[in-house]
Amino acid sequence: MNRLTGKVVIAQGGGPTAVINQSLVGAVLEARKFSAVTRVWGARHGVRGIVAETFVDLSEATSHNLERVARTPSSALGSTRDKPDAAYCQRIFEAFRKHEVRYFFYIGGNDSSDTVRIVTEHADREGYELRALHIPKTVDNDLPITDHCPGYPSAARFVASALGGVNADLLALPGVYIAVIMGRHAGWLTAAAALARKHDDDGPHLIYLPERQFSIERYLADIERVYQQQGRCVVAISEGVWASRDGKGQAIPVTVDLLRQAGREPEVDAHGNIQLSGGALADELAAVVQKSLGIKRVRADTFGYLQRSFPGVVSAVDAREAREVGEKAAHYACGRDLSGSVVIERIGDYAVRYALADVREIAAQTRCMPDAFITTDGNGVTDAFRDYLRPLLGDDMPDLERLGAPAVEPGHD
């Protein structure tokens, strides 16, 4: 039995998802049941709220309010892009000691798990007993060890649904359509577009991922081939695709090439990540098809912020699992006196169980799509990927139907 008496502080970091509040509410409701937990505080805007000591008392939130928050997308506590350095961590730690915080839950992606790692190491050095849990979330699905990341299935559902609608749209009004989808280093979310395919000739016909080097010549040749065969072509492409590398061997996103051609430098966030938002990549990818292939009707959309926190497009499987990783975190920390990162293990077809991983194995790692999920041509995904993703989307995906009416033969009346 756990003897470590003190407060819980829970926070949310990084980009929001449609189900990140399920994890928040799962952790809060379970943590409140442990007698060693004196209060459950939420930090406003991630680690920033810890150092600023802007807390809300989640011990006083009603269960009804929390249940409704759980079904609301985006981070209810507020989020941050701050990535603490040593001095920042010292301040986090001082806030914890001052308020007798013994349990720290941080819901986030790669950068947030790294924050948990640093704070944990700091507490160890100071000899302060702290149970620190990383609760995974990211629409990018790029954390190692865990089978998948809460938030990804719902974003994938948005992408697959969107491409289903776009494919139906292009069947009605043919042309070329290009969807630019989130994913800086890993193509998981872009790849989800493949789940829109039902009939053999359904789009997306081409999928380009940052796991493979992009070539504009190859892209044009691919589109020309599909368009000649089918009279239309639907393309899903990751915002992070790259065609060249810099002097240090780092991939340069095509978006950055385009910006630099226009005489501008890309925006860089607090973590040194290049900002890839904006419609320039989509516009350029459409313009080059019009210009080089002479196809008149070419449209491109950048899915942008819609894909990560759209209310009402949520995978029930994702919502359930996001809830449970939060609950598990509370049990590991408050019930079993453990620290680490909660991971999902896939067992059977389809079931999961939860486990605890060393946060050092998670932190600041990026898991890209394995080769087995990408076609040898590099412009599509394999059945193995479809089998991986399908159960995560829930069993109620829209199933689009084509007319089954026979063509009227010439001369027939």
The number of CA neighbours under 13 Å toward the Cβ of 76 is: 22
Mask for 252-281, x = binds a copy of itself (CB under 8 A): -------------------------xxxx-
Q: Cα separations (Å) of 242 from 73, 157, 257? A: 31, 25, 9
Give the shortest CB-84-to-a copy of itself separation in angstroms: 17
The helix/strand/coil state of 264 is: coil
For residue 385, what are its two tokens? 């990927």
Among 254, 282, 317, 359, binds a copy of itself (CB under 8 A): 282
Smallest gap from residue 373 Cβ to a copy of itself (A): 24
Distance between CA 339 and CA 330 in Å, rounded? 10
371 as an active site residue: the answer is no
Q: Which of 147, 301, 337, 361 binds a copy of itself (CB under 8 A)?
A: 301
Span of 82-90, 141-149, 205-213, 295-303 interacting with a copy of itself by CB under 8 A: 295-303
Give me the least distance between CB of 78 and a copy of itself, in Å please: 5
Q: Choose the catalytic residue: 111, 114, 140, 222.
A: 140
Helix (H) or strand (E) holding 252: strand 251-253
- Range in contact with a copy of itself (rule: CB under 8 A) among 9-17, 130-138, 241-249, 377-385: 9-17
Cα 118 to Cα 107, 123, 134, 273: the distances in Å are: 15, 9, 12, 20
Report if residue 407 touches a copy of itself, rule: CB under 8 A.
yes
For residue 65, state whether it binds a copy of itself (rule: CB under 8 A): yes
Cα distances (angstroms) measured from residue 7 to each of 31, 77, 93, 130, 328:
10, 17, 13, 10, 18
Which of 54, 58, 50, 130 is closest to 95 using CA atoms? 50
SS3 assignment for 299-321: EEEECHHHHCCCCCCCCHHHHHH
CB of 398 to a copy of itself, least distance (A): 4
Which residues in 214-243 contact a copy of itself (CB under 8 A)?
Answer: none
Stretch 44-63 residues interacting with a copy of itself (CB under 8 A): 45, 53-58, 60-62
Q: Rule CB under 8 A: choose which of 291, 311, 364, 383 binds a copy of itself.
A: 311
Indicate which residues carry an active-site annotation.
140
